């Protein structure tokens, strides 16, 4: 019996060690940089008249246009599957970029949404359609804004204004995440937000340990 137990341990130990380190490699990998520098929005107007910038924050960025119904549906998906898990992180923010014409209508929507969400934590930036388009194009993705300055895709921008996403052999480059696709938010985007938050936490810990 002891002989079988020893043999079992000797067989299982290398497999366990391999699985542990393989898991660690995935969990602490850096999220790929897909665009080196996106345009900042520090000169845009905001919903609370404070400065909003991508710098020094991990930002989930949405271009939800002037169609309020699209804002409602996509924002609800994002809030339930992604945002509610991360609102309490000091270096995390959710930024919605909209054309200035949507300002009044959106403010009312944000107030209504407070009943089911921490919508007071949303940062909304407004500017001309041309400026919204300019910022979107700086992301250098294959996606396009429609005539209302809307895209269903949301993006992860890091503290150095770099666009992060996925880049692998099977899926190719994933620049943004479809906010209308609950499975994509729950699986791919949620995993990637975890990775980038862990990446910065690990870097912060290393700096403190020096």
Write the pLDDT tens digit of every residue in 15-50: 443 333 334 333 447 899 999 999 999 999 998 878
Integer Cα distance of 113 and 200 in angstroms: 30
> How would residue 207 be classed by pLDDT, with cut points 50, 70 and 90?
low
Are 116 and 191 part of one and the same domain? yes
> What pLDDT was estimated at residue 30?
87
Are 121 and 194 part of one and the same domain? yes
Instruction: Inform me whether the pLDDT recorded for 144 exceeds 80.
Output: yes
| Total number of domains constituting the chain | 2
**Is the four-CA dihedral 84, 89, 92, 94 of positive or negative sign?**
positive
Are 96 and 124 part of one and the same domain? yes
**Average pLDDT rounded to a whole number, residues 50-69:** 92
Are 1 and 100 part of one and the same domain? no
Are 98 and 118 part of one and the same domain? yes
Instruction: Inform me whether the pLDDT recorded for 74 exceeds 60.
Output: yes
> What pLDDT was estimated at residue 47?
85
Are 50 and 8 part of one and the same domain? no
Are 2 and 103 part of one and the same domain? no
> What pLDDT was estimated at residue 206?
67
Integer Cα distance of 100 and 127 in angstroms: 5
CATH of the domain at 105: 3.40.30.10
**pLDDT higher at 74 or 57:** 57
Among 34-43, 102-111, 142-151, 192-201, the minimum mean pLDDT is found in 102-111
Integer Cα distance of 113 and 129 in angstroms: 25
Domain range for 73 is 31-209
Which H helix or E strand runs over 33? strand 33-35
Are 68 and 157 part of one and the same domain? yes
pTM higher than 0.85, yes or no?
no
Instruction: Inform me whether the pLDDT recorded for 147 exceeds 80.
Output: yes
Are 61 and 145 part of one and the same domain? yes
Are 24 and 89 part of one and the same domain? no
Are 23 and 110 part of one and the same domain? no
**Average pLDDT rounded to a whole number, residues 167-184:** 90
Are 159 and 129 part of one and the same domain? yes
């Amino acid at each position: 019996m002891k002989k079988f137990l020893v043999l079992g341990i000797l067989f299982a130990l290398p497999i366990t060690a391999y699985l542990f380190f393989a898991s660690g490699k995935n969990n602490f990998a850096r999220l790929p940089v897909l665009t080196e520098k996106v345009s900042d929005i520090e000169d845009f107007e905001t919903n609370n008249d404070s400065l909003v910038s991508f710098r020094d924050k991990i930002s989930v960025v949405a271009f939800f246009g002037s169609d309020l119904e699209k804002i409602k549906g996509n924002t609800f998906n994002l809030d339930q599957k992604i945002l509610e898990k991360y609102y309490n992180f000091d270096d995390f923010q959710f930024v919605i970029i909209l054309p200035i014409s949507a300002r009044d209508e959106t403010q009312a929507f944000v107030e209504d949404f407070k009943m089911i969400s921490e919508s007071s934590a949303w940062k909304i930036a407004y500017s001309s359609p041309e400026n919204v388009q300019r910022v979107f194009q700086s992301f250098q993705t294959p996606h396009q804004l429609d005539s209302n300055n809307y895209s269903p895709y949301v993006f992860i921008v890091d503290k150095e204004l770099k666009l992060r996403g996925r880049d692998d052999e099977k899926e190719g480059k994933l620049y943004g995440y479809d906010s209308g696709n609950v499975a994509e938010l729950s699986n791919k985007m949620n995993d990637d937000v975890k990775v980038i938050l862990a990446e910065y936490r690990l870097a912060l810990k290393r700096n403190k340990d020096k």
